[in-house]
Amino acid sequence: MANDNVKRPTREKGEILLEMRDLRIEGESDDVWHQIVKGVDLTLCRGEVLGLIGESGAGKSTIGIAAMGFAHPGCRFNGGSITFDGIDLMNAPEEVKRKMRGSRISYVAQSAAASFNPAHRLIDQTIETETQQGIRDTQASIADAKDLYSRLRLPNPEAIGFRYPHQVSGGQLQRVMTAMAMTCRPDLIIFDEPTTALDVTTQVEVLASIRAIVEEFHTAAIYITHDLAVVAQMAHRIMVLRHGKLVEEAPTREMLAAPQDAYTRSLWAVRKLAKEESTTYDLILKVEHVDAAYGSAVKILDDVSISVPRGRTVAVVGESGSGKSTLARVVTGLLPPTKGSVKFNGADLPPALAQRDKESLRRIQMIYQSPDTALNPRQRVYDIIGRPLTFYHNLRGKALKDRIVELLKMIELDESYIDRLPGEMSGGQKQRICIARALAAEPDLIICDEVTSALDQIVQEEILKLLLRLQAEFEISYLFITHDIATVRAIADEIVVMNQGKVVQQGLKTKVLSPPHPAYTELLLSSVPEMDPDWLTNLLQKRAAKTK
């Protein structure tokens, strides 16, 4: 075996590998230094997997790479100690730390697509650390990399390394990155949200490969994520962080069975939010036998028919590439279909945006995934919400301002927000502004494209509650595009399952979510991580049994 000639240190479980005491890290923004990590203690033993969870801004990633003696540009250590295998990382010379990175402590980043250098082949990047640090020669490194690729169950392990990053799918890249982190058989790997950017079905495969290889080499790991269900599968012990401080720490099973802190409990509240379904035969939107394509290339939508009842929510679920967002573009008129029709309120909608009159434009509004890109950073709330009010309802002056304040009240923000720029608000507040902008037109239908995906769990719950309240108040219909089944449970009346441009299944929520399922729905639903620490193990066993 190629990996036999790597000197592997004795790895006895129980021996302390990494210790952080009262770690403090500060970051600079606008010339002001503020604490990001406010005194965190962390102990990790050899072969142990520690989960770090928390919302964005909790300091998880910062603590993760601090374990490598590294701080992001614009951040610096300002207190405490980090000891890795007897080496004081706070005070070690840069050269010593550099030699340890990649070989003794390695890193797996969130977005594999962005973290691989587009200019080099995967194999060259995989073996870079070992050849550069003179651990092994190129031939042996390549052989070992191929071995790791096959252990991580990558397709065609002999050849895949010779491709460029853009030629390989996201899930495969994430596994190649795990192989890259493994090449030097490090003592510790930092996994920084490695599956967050992946579809659930892909996530299962990546989680399984990561877990298997970490166990096989007895590597210690810090697994960073915001997803409790994922960390439950991966970690022996979990630390919950918030605002740079430790909230709670316990072995995984204990933490899941009996979370002590109120904040920890609130983290999975969204998973319990569930709406009573109801439906009506009064349809607001009917999409009939629609085909759509970009250019003359492959069909993105293939004979898609869906309907949305008035005042109800239809959730469209599927993986990336299933055509969910394209469907939204067809309904809004951004992409005229090549075949089929869109009926709104019983009448045919002109296929292209330019042919639609103001009234039909007003009745369909859209909210996007990322409020950061959907809001003009140079416009104040007054202009953002005021524009559709002036455009559709011809409001000006005092009437306009009164209406904006009223809309702000509806989205639970007070008057003072009227002069704010997007940069002066949190992610959740920005998404509320996007909702108010859509509401301003007084639409019949709002298309929500992954509106909660970029938000933290607690904020997600607030936004979903707001959307439900607005629906009850104004009888708005939602076409709710999402890949997250928990969100579907929380908000949907009906579900449409899409795969590769086709509708696989549609119907009432309880009907779609309860067996028997068509094969694809089954795969999709079974891939959604559950809070049970044995979920992944059981799922893999079940799937293995099935293929036999």
147 phi/psi in degrees, rounded to 5? -60, -45
Q: In 3D, which of 157, 154, 192 has the Cα closest to residue 170? A: 154
Question: Within 103-122, which residues bind another protein (CB under 8 A)?
Answer: 103, 106-107, 109, 111, 114-120
294 binds another protein (CB under 8 A): no
Q: Write down the least CB distance from residue 104 to another protein, Å.
A: 9
Q: How far apart are CA 409 and CA 93, in angstroms?
A: 55
Q: Write down the least CB distance from residue 99 to another protein, Å.
A: 6
**Tokens, residue 342:** 């869109």
Q: Could you give the string, one character per residue 133-162, with x where binding to another protein holds by CB under 8 A and - elsewhere? A: x-----------------------------
Among 76, 101, 245, 420, binds another protein (CB under 8 A): 101
Q: How far apart are CA 156 and CA 153, in angstroms?
A: 9
Assign 306 to helix, strand or coil: strand
Q: Write down the least CB distance from residue 132 to another protein, Å.
A: 7
Q: How far apart are CA 7 and CA 134, in angstroms?
A: 13
Among 128, 249, 303, 484, binds another protein (CB under 8 A): 128
* Nearest 10 degrees: Cα torsion 100, 103, 106, 109: 110
Closer to another protein by Cβ: residue 38 or 163: 163
Q: How far apart are CA 312 and CA 278, in angstroms?
A: 8
CB-based contact 437:384 (threshold 8 Å):
yes
217 binds another protein (CB under 8 A): no
Interacting span for another protein (CB under 8 A) from 128-136, 448-456, 473-481, 521-529 = 128-136
23 binds another protein (CB under 8 A): no
Closer to another protein by Cβ: residue 98 or 245: 98
Question: Within 59-78, which residues bind another protein (CB under 8 A)?
Answer: 65, 68, 70, 72-73
Closer to another protein by Cβ: residue 89 or 496: 89
**Tokens, residue 218:** 């007895």
Closer to another protein by Cβ: residue 128 or 442: 128
Q: Could you give the string, one character per residue 164-203, with x where binding to another protein holds by CB under 8 A and - elsewhere? A: x-xx------------x-----------------------
Closer to another protein by Cβ: residue 114 or 399: 114
Closer to another protein by Cβ: residue 70 or 535: 70
Closer to another protein by Cβ: residue 111 or 338: 111
**Tokens, residue 63:** 């603590």
Q: Write down the least CB distance from residue 105 to another protein, Å.
A: 9
215 Cβ neighbours under 8 A, 6+ residues apart: none
Q: Write down the least CB distance from residue 75 to another protein, Å.
A: 12
Q: In 3D, which of 179, 177, 222, 173 has the Cα closest to residue 65? A: 222
298 binds another protein (CB under 8 A): no
Q: Write down the least CB distance from residue 367 to another protein, Å.
A: 28
Closer to another protein by Cβ: residue 64 or 311: 64
Q: In 3D, which of 542, 529, 531 has the Cα closest to residue 206? A: 529
Closer to another protein by Cβ: residue 103 or 326: 103
Q: Write down the least CB distance from residue 195 to another protein, Å.
A: 16
Q: How far apart are CA 309 and CA 148, in angstroms?
A: 51
Q: Total number of residues binding another protein (CB under 8 A)?
A: 31
85 binds another protein (CB under 8 A): no
Assign 379 to helix, strand or coil: coil
Residue type, 365: Q
* Strand arrangement of the beta sheet that strand 49-53 belongs to: 105-108, 188-192, 220-225, 49-53, 237-242, 245-251
Interacting span for another protein (CB under 8 A) from 96-104, 281-289, 444-452, 462-470 = 96-104
Other C-beta atoms closer than 10 Å to the C-beta of 488 total: 24
Q: Write down the least CB distance from residue 237 to another protein, Å.
A: 24
Q: How far apart are CA 101 and CA 129, in angstroms?
A: 9
Q: Write down the least CB distance from residue 17 to another protein, Å.
A: 18
* Nearest 10 degrees: Cα torsion 462, 465, 467, 472: -160
158-166 long-range Cβ contacts below 8 angstroms, 24+ apart = 160/122, 161/121, 161/122, 161/123, 161/126, 162/121, 162/122, 162/123, 163/121, 163/122, 164/118, 164/120, 164/121, 164/122, 165/112, 165/113, 165/116, 165/117, 165/118, 165/122, 166/113, 166/118
102 binds another protein (CB under 8 A): yes
Assign 225 to helix, strand or coil: strand
Closer to another protein by Cβ: residue 103 or 225: 103
Q: Write down the least CB distance from residue 187 to another protein, Å.
A: 14
Closer to another protein by Cβ: residue 9 or 350: 9
428 binds another protein (CB under 8 A): no
Closer to another protein by Cβ: residue 166 or 546: 166
List contacts with another protein (CB under 8 A): 65, 68, 70, 72-73, 98-103, 106-107, 109, 111, 114-120, 128-129, 132-133, 163-164, 166-167, 180
